[in-house]
A and B are shown apart, each in its own frame.
Chain A
Amino acid sequence: MSATKTLDARLIGEASDTSDESTRLAHEPAAERTPAPSVPLIKRIAALFAAGPVKPGESYGAPGQGRSLAISVVTAVALIGLWYIATAAGWVAPLFLPSPVAVVERFWEVLTQGFANATLLEHTGWSMLRVFGAFALAMATAIPIGIFMGVNRVARGLFDPIIEFYRPLPPLAYLPLVIIWLGIGEASKVVLIYMAIFAPMALSARAGVRSVAIEQIHAAYSMGATRWQVVRYIILKSALPEILTGMRIGIGFGWTTLVAAEMVAAQAGLGFMVLNAAEFLVTDVVIMGIIVIGIIAYLFDMLMRFAERKLVPWKGR
């Protein structure tokens, strides 16, 4: 951002923006700068929780601005600590809430020896295969269909009622039907997850297409663009941020549907492992399975956010 300011300064006459630099520095409170090494420890810790410097160019005073990482870390640590204390002091029976240590031990045990005839890696592998397989299928179909719905009224009329009808249904409601149609093999599991991912992805792609600025389309036409060039060079590009958001939302739906998909006739999988453990009241495996699913989903979301920053750096500008 400061680079832009210098750019301005170099343009003779467009000097109006250059004064910002000095005013901004003058306004910055000293307490919000990185503390020097001589500052006492307590103050340095306190600084971790301070709002921190806002990005240059952002206005002061907007509600909710500033850093929140330190607060999140402390919250997580406090929750785990509370969990530990509650179990160590015997407030809750291990059947309902096993201690964190037991869960970690169980994690190691399932990792090395397995649970329900499969190791943790096998369970994880099967689940990821199902979720990411469905995700890939959805990407290959939902995104083109969503775009098509955006640029073509016939396609919109065709797909809109179908998607809008089944989208709010809970996957468990149509799971029996999917099993009647496709049997109890892998196909029904992947299709169930696929359907959960498809709707948000297609609707995001469609919304992305509709969000393109009419000025950009008009400008392209004025430069001699054909219809196809407008779709390819303008519409697809400006829909990209929303398509990526749709992918993030979609994969989230995929993980939430996983356990339902693995309810019937699965031999392995994280959802199956959790369900199986629950039947035998092996609560530590249940908790461990939940945490593993959560961590994988979170890591993938981080990856998607990284991809977003790399692929659509103009988003929100």
Chain B
Amino acid sequence: MSRLQIHDVSVVYPGLNGGEQVRALSNINFTIEPGEFVVALGASGCGKTTLLSLMAGFISPSKGYLTLGDSTLEGLPRVACGVDLEDQITGPGKDRGVVFQKHALLPWLDVIENTEFGLKLQGVPKRERRERAAAFLKLVGLEDFHHHPVYQLSGGMQQRVGIARALTNDPKMLLLDEPLGALDALTREVLQELLLDVWKETRKMMFFITHSVEEALFMASRLIIMSPRPGRITHEFKLDFNERFLECRDARKVKSMPEFIQMRERVLSIIHGDELSGGMH
């Protein structure tokens, strides 16, 4: 089984107009084990999304390296030259599915065409890719919406399509960049449960970014808390509230357990401390 390893990675963004460089990530050492659900939590500007972009292969580290299984991950080339259009590009790969906060579905395709899009790119015959896409649409509860235009769907349903689309490609891991951030509270809870069900079903590695402490505690097998300036991992917790939910199927019960509330207060105080010291800069 392949794990994702991050070896002493730093990312430095050049300053704007010759200004000071921004150290988005500093000396990150970190491993995601197979089947783990890792949630990254932290104040704005702590480098969560930079970390995800590294894993997805959108950017390269300034220092250090990442491996997934035996292969080293690279970023997209800095300057895309338009000549080698046929080339397989370095960087992102279909072994790492990404779910974005929004704007990533293709509005000219309907629900099932969006879901099967990755397979189409790889030249999978239409009948086979339809079948596989349909299976994952069923998993996310959209089996009756194959031919709806995606731009007419609610935000929650669009994210369901985004999740099904990433899964249809059968990636080794799923990278979720605040996938529920733009949804209303009710829909959000429904999709949290859905994602845990998907995780249980597939046991894929998950890397999930969120701003919500409660969501982080509920979803994570391992929670990492990040801190800004420079972006780094300050705390790590092993949690099992997700497993407890999958056993009892009662999210409210899990979220009102004394351990959950205790943990929530602890994490909140850590993050608030960051935000206060962040304000001093």
Contacts and interface: CB of A to CB of B under 8 A. Distances in A.
A296 interface: no
A2 to B, nearest CB: 11
Interface string A199-228: 000000000000001011011111111111
Per DSSP, chain A at the interface is helix
B238 interface: no
A313 B92 contact: no
Interface in B32-87: 56-58, 76, 80, 82, 84-87
Given A218-B104, A229-B121, A234-B106, A314 B149 contact: yes
Interface string A1-24: 101100110111111110000000
Contact of A213 (B104, B144, B166, B169): B104
A231 interface: yes
Nearest to A10: B144
A274 B109 CA distance: 48
A60 B81 CA distance: 48
B190 interface: yes
B145 A233 contact: no
Interface string B113-146: 0000110011000000000000000000100110
Interface residues of A, number: 43
Contacts of B151: 314, 317
A224 B169 contact: yes
B102 to A, nearest CB: 8
Contacts of A233: 106, 117, 121
A152 B87 contact: no
Contact of A216 (B85, B89, B106): B106
Contacts of B96: 222
Contacts of B230: none
A11 B149 contact: no
B86 A228 contact: yes
Per DSSP, chain B at the interface is loop
B100 interface: yes
Contacts of A12: 190
B252 interface: no
A94 to B, nearest CB: 55
Given A14-B156, A226-B85, A227-B80, A313 B122 contact: no
B169 A227 contact: no
Given A7-B153, A151-B82, A215-B100, A226 B89 contact: yes
A167 interface: no
A223 B116 CA distance: 10
Central interface residue in A12, A225, A313, by most chain B CB within 10 Å: A225
The 4 A-B pairs of least Cβ separation, nearest first, read A223-B118, A314-B107, A224-B94, A152-B82
30 contacts: A7-B148, A13-B186, A14-B156, A16-B186, A153-B82, A213-B103, A213-B104, A216-B104, A216-B106, A218-B98, A218-B100, A219-B98, A219-B104, A220-B117, A220-B121, A221-B58, A221-B76, A221-B91, A222-B92, A222-B94, A222-B96, A223-B97, A223-B118, A224-B93, A226-B86, A228-B86, A233-B106, A233-B121, A234-B106, A237-B106
Given A16-B187, A227-B86, 17 more contacts: A7-B148, A10-B144, A13-B189, A14-B157, A14-B186, A16-B185, A152-B82, A216-B105, A219-B104, A221-B57, A221-B76, A222-B97, A224-B122, A226-B121, A227-B85, A231-B85, A233-B121
